Amino acid sequence: MAKLDTIIRGGTVATASDTFRCDVGIRDGRIAQLGEDLGQAGEVIDAAGLLVLPGGIDSHVHFCQDSGPGIVMADDFESGTRSAAFGGNTTVMPFCIQQKGHGLRQALKDYHALAEGKCYTDVSFHLVISDPTPQVLGQELPALVDDGYTSFKVFMTYQDLALSDLQMLEVMATARETGSFVMVHAENYDAIRFLTDRLERAGHTAPHFHGTSRPVPVEREATHRAISLAEIIDVPVMIVHVSNGEAMEEIRRAQSRGLKVFGETCPQYLVLTEKDMEGLNMEGAKYVCSPPPRDKAAQDACWLGLQTGVFSVFSSDHCPFRYDDPKGKLIPKGRTSFRWVPNGIPGVETRLPILFSEGVSKGRITLNQFVALTATNHAKMYGLAPRKGTIAVGSDADIALWDANRKVRIAAQDLHHGADYTPYEGIEVTGWPVRTIVRGKTVVADGKLIGAMNHGTHLKRDRSPYAAPTGKQITSFAPAGSHKG
Ligand code: DUC
Ligand code: ZN
Ligand code: ZN
* pLDDT tens digits, 388-408: 999 999 999 999 999 999 999
Note if the pTM is more than 0.75: yes
pLDDT band at residue 472 under the 50/70/90 scheme:
low
Q: Quick one: average pLDDT of 89-114?
A: 98
- Which of the 8 DSSP states describes residue 269? H
Domain membership of residue 206 as a residue range: 56-372
Q: What is the pLDDT of residue 336?
A: 78
Phi and psi at residue 436, to the nearest 5°: -120, 125
Residue nearest to atom 8 of ligand 1 (CA): 290
Q: Quick one: average pLDDT of 416-429?
A: 98
| Nearest atom within ligand 1 for CA of residue 343 | 6
Does a structural domain hold residue 332?
yes
Q: Is the CB of 319 under 6 A from ligand 1?
A: yes
Q: How far is CA 198 from CA 19, 113, 202, 332, 333, in A?
A: 54, 42, 6, 21, 22
Q: Is the CB of 185 under 6 A from ligand 1?
A: yes
Does a structural domain hold residue 437?
no
Q: Is the CB of 290 under 6 A from ligand 1?
A: yes
Q: What is the pLDDT of residue 482?
A: 46
Does a structural domain hold residue 388?
no
Asked if 211 and 244 count as a contact pair (C-beta separation under 8 A), the reply is no
Q: Quick one: average pLDDT of 402-425?
A: 98
Residue nearest to atom 5 of ligand 1 (CA): 344
* pLDDT tens digits, 16-52: 999 999 999 999 999 999 999 999 999 999 999 999 9
Q: Quick one: average pLDDT of 215-239?
A: 98
Task: Provide the angle, in degrees to the nearest 10, between the axes of the packed helices 216-233 and 189-201.
Answer: 160
Residue nearest to atom 1 of ligand 1 (CA): 290
Q: What is the pLDDT of residue 483?
A: 43
Other Cβ atoms within 10 Å of 44 Cβ, number: 15
Q: Reply yes or no on whether the pLDDT at 360 is more than 90.
A: yes
Q: Is the CB of 343 under 6 A from ligand 1?
A: yes
Phi and psi at residue 440, to the nearest 5°: 85, -10
State whether residue 372 is helix, strand or coil.
helix
Q: What is the CA radius of gyration of the chain?
A: 22
Q: What is the pLDDT of residue 468?
A: 86
* Count of domains observed in the chain: 1
Ligand 3 center–CA 36 separation, angstroms: 42
Asked if 242 and 305 count as a contact pair (C-beta separation under 8 A), the reply is yes
State whether residue 351 is helix, strand or coil.
helix
Q: How far is CA 272 from CA 180, 229, 287, 295, 360, in A?
A: 33, 31, 8, 8, 18
Q: Locate all alpha helices (DSSP H) within 363-416, ordered by sequence.
A: 367-371, 377-381
Q: H-helix or E-strand containing 314?
A: strand 311-314
Between 307 and 2, residue with greater pLDDT: 307
**Residue % of the chain over a pLDDT of 70:** 97
Q: How far is it, in rounded angstroms, from Cα 214 to Cα 374? A: 27
If one residue of 75, 129, 268, 317 were mutated to test the ligand 1 pocket, choosing by the most ligand atoms within 8 A of its CB, it would be 317
DSSP E strands, 164-288: 181-185, 237-239, 261-265
Does a structural domain hold residue 454?
no
Helices (H) and strands (E) in the chain, counts: 14, 20
* pLDDT tens digits, 424-470: 999 999 999 999 999 999 999 999 999 999 999 999 999 999 998 87
Does a structural domain hold residue 140?
yes
If one residue of 60, 318, 343 were mutated to test the ligand 1 pocket, choosing by the most ligand atoms within 8 A of its CB, it would be 343
Does a structural domain hold residue 226?
yes
Give strand pairing partners of 181. Answer: 151
CATH number at residue 328: 3.20.20.140
Q: Reply yes or no on whether the pLDDT at 380 is more than 70.
A: yes
DSSP E strands, 10-163: 12-14, 19-21, 23-27, 30-35, 41-46, 51-54, 56-61, 89-97, 122-123, 126-128, 151-155
Q: Please list the helix, strand and coil fractions of the chain in percent, rounded to the nearest 5, in that order.
A: 30, 20, 45
If one residue of 61, 97, 158, 185 were mutated to test the ligand 1 pocket, choosing by the most ligand atoms within 8 A of its CB, it would be 185
| Nearest atom within ligand 1 for CA of residue 344 | 5
Ligand 3 center–CA 241 separation, angstroms: 7
Q: What is the pLDDT of residue 68?
A: 87
Q: How far is it, in rounded angstroms, from Cα 183 to Cα 197? A: 28
Q: Reply yes or no on whether the pLDDT at 485 is more than 50.
A: no
pLDDT band at residue 151 under the 50/70/90 scheme:
very high
Q: H-helix or E-strand containing 79?
A: helix 77-86
Does a structural domain hold residue 88?
yes
Q: What is the pLDDT of residue 449?
A: 98
Q: Reply yes or no on whether the pLDDT at 474 is more than 70.
A: no
Phi and psi at residue 402, to the nearest 5°: -120, 135
pLDDT band at residue 477 under the 50/70/90 scheme:
low
Q: What is the pLDDT of residue 177?
A: 97
**Residue % of the chain over a pLDDT of 90:** 93
Q: How far is it, in rounded angstroms, from Cα 332 to Cα 334? A: 6
Q: Reply yes or no on whether the pLDDT at 213 is more than 70.
A: yes
